[in-house]
Structures are given as C-alpha cells and as structure tokens.
Structure 1
C-alpha cells in the first residue's frame, strides 16, 4: 500500500510537470490515501501544497486530516483544523464530528466528546450508529458503564439503531466494569430477538 501511495505522489508531480493542475478531488484522494497508510506528514505536505495552489479543501479533505490527527493522538491540531473549517466556509458533517469525538474518547476525554456531540445535534445533524457506539465505548473505557448504558438507551429514540458492534462494545464494557448481571440481561435480550450473537459477543 505504501508503494501505491508513493506512486500516487509521483503521479501528482508528473501532472504538475505536464501543467495539468490537480483539483480538490485529486488532492483529497491522495490525502485520504496517505492518512490511511499512516503517513500524516505527507498528507499535511499535500494539504499545504493544495492551499499554495489556491485549491479550496472540501469537507472530505478536512475530515481525512482530522481523522489522521486523531489517530496519532494530536487532538489539539485536530480541534484547530476542525475550528478552521467554518472560517473557510466549509461545514463539518456527521463523519467529521464522529472522527473528532472518537479522538476525544480514545484519549479518555469523553466529556469533551459529549460537548461536541451536543454541538452537532444543535447544528441539526443526526448522530449515526458509529457516533453512539464511539461514545458508549468512551464511557466504558473511563469506567462509567451507567452513562454508557444511558447513551445506548438514547439511541432508539433518536433513530440510530444499535448494530452488533454496539452490543459487543456495551457488553464488553459492562463486564469489564463489574456489571456482569446487567450484561447477561442484554445478552438474553439479543438471543430472544434472534440477533446474530457473534463469536466476539461470546468472548
């Protein structure tokens, strides 16, 4: 994969030599590729080049970079880029918000993630299953299974149905935090409704 993205960078240079100006789609695809390959430095260099060439980044460009910062634990820079989006007339979508929420939860800053979550709802964006699952996992990680279950209970009324991963995260969190009986109740609920109780759930 890394070789593939090196080739992509060479292709970009070749395009510029031929006086073919790359557009926002080209840059964003390359930035996303570098982030996915763990090459955040290269992704940021491309972003700088993009700005120098007066190519305006879009929501997908920003989301890829925010995700990259969060993956590397660089939350201050992720938040700064998130805040700079709107000043550039580009508004974050649910994936952008969820990426930053995930970064906060991964760093055990779940309350910061919740602030962002409510800000997202105030903007009229509906959280999806991944957003809720991220918050549930965050609360379990900091030893607060009660709030994790509150978030889980909130999902249905907000139109985001839990999937098998959501259940697995909650069950694991309850068990790890000494709430085994509560986990068994949820497990039985899953079985009674014929849900796909996967190997992950059993373990």
Structure 2
C-alpha cells in the first residue's frame, strides 16, 4: 500500500481500519484487513481484534472464529482480549456450540482463561437456565485461584431459586461463607424472597427474620 509514494505502515492502516468499522463499514473494513495482508504489512493482533470485535458485534461469531483460525495458520496468535470478545458474544447470544469451539481454540493455541472469561461464562450460563454449568464455572474459578465475587454467586443462587432448587441455592450460600466471601444485600434479598414463598413454616419465618436483620445491618453499613 502506498499513497503519493509514501509507504503506509501497519499503524496507519490500523487507524483506517478502526474508523471503517466504527462507521459501520464492516465489509469495507474486512476487505481492507485482507488488503493489508496481501500488501505484506505485518498485521498485529490488535488489528485482528478490531475486526473480530466488529464481526462479533454484528452477530457473525463463526466468521470471526474462521478469521482467527486463518490468522493462526499465518502465524498470528490471538490474545485473551480477542478470545474474550468471542466468548462474550457467544454467551450473550446463547451460542454454546460456538462457545465450545472458541474454548477449544483457546486451549489449542495456549490462551488461558482469565477472570473476565469466567465472568462471561457464568453470566451466559445463568441467563439461559444452565445453572449447573454456571456453578461448575464458579467452582473451577476457586480451583484455579481466581477471586470470585458475590455478584457471580448471586447469579447462580438466583438461578437455582428460579428453578425451585432452594436446597442447592443454600448450599452455595454456605459455600460463600466457606470461601470467606461476604454475601451482599442482593444475596440476602434473593434468598429471603424465595423463602417467603415457601409458606409459613417456623423455619421459613426464622430465616426471613435472620435475613431481615442482615439486610438492616448492610443498609446501615451502606449509609
């Protein structure tokens, strides 16, 4: 690529690429990316990620994966940002076949999952009712030494409550205490709401009373 005899480098091309995709010119951006390759410009993983992001936002996850696979054969390995964009897109759209392919690709090329990857997985599995899968991800995070926040536990606990599996929801609540993770106001709210629907048993009443005390304590702290 040359303009008025001036050689255009990868940095300049990446700026053009970003602007094309930002202006909803995805196809032009895609073509421009290949022109960069054909011109012998050393394409960076950042440029690849720009195109992958554009494709995923357009719902073209398979096309994004195909591009990444092709670039791997050309010697360009995706990074965790590239992969997380695809993971996020597939979990948001409940495209779990695509998700499996992405995770397999990450394993194959040596890109380790990070805390953001796990968050996308928990959120995606929880939102579509795959609560057991979401719980497995949370447990895997502990095994790998990642910090698991109350927010992720809340997603799974709420999922089990929606399914009517209160026993499993409380088991996870106990797991939080085992792992020294402080339940927050949402945790107690989710459990109290579910227990209140169980009827007027003594156990339910006692739990609601305990949860109300915890909620009041948290509100005092927040104020």
Q: TM-score when scaled to structure 1?
A: 0.72
Of 49, 60, 69, 1:51 maps to 69
Instruction: Determine if contact 1:66/1:99 at 8 Å carries over to the other structure.
Output: yes
Whole-Å separation in 1 of the counterparts to 2:209 and 2:43: 55
Per-residue deviation, 1:89: 0.9
What CA deviation, in whole Å up to 9, does each residue of 1:22-59 have, x standing for no partner?
42223334534554x4x221x44234223323321122
- Please, which runs of 5 or more residues in structure 1 have no aligned partner? 198-203
Whole-Å separation in 2 of the counterparts to 1:9 and 1:190: 52
Please say which of residues 75-84 and 165-174 is displaced more in the overlay: 165-174
- Please, which runs of 5 or more residues in structure 2 have no aligned partner? 1-20
Query: What is the root-mean-square deviation in Å for CA atoms of aligned residues?
Result: 3.3
Written as runs of structure 1 = structure 2, the 5 A alignment for 1:1-203 is: 4=22, 6-7=24-25, 10-11=28-29, 13-14=31-32, 16-17=34-35, 19=39, 20-32=41-53, 34-35=55-56, 37=57, 39-41=58-60, 43-53=61-71, 54=74, 55-175=76-196, 181=205, 182-183=207-208, 185-193=210-218, 194-196=220-222
What CA deviation, in whole Å up to 9, does each residue of 1:80-109 have, x standing for no partner?
322332122111122222322333333323
- Number of equivalenced pairs: 192
Which is greater in Rg?
2
Instruction: Determine if contact 1:129/1:160 at 8 Å carries over to the other structure.
Output: yes
Tell me: CA distance 1:63–1:121, structure 2 relative to 1, closer, same or farther (3 Å): same
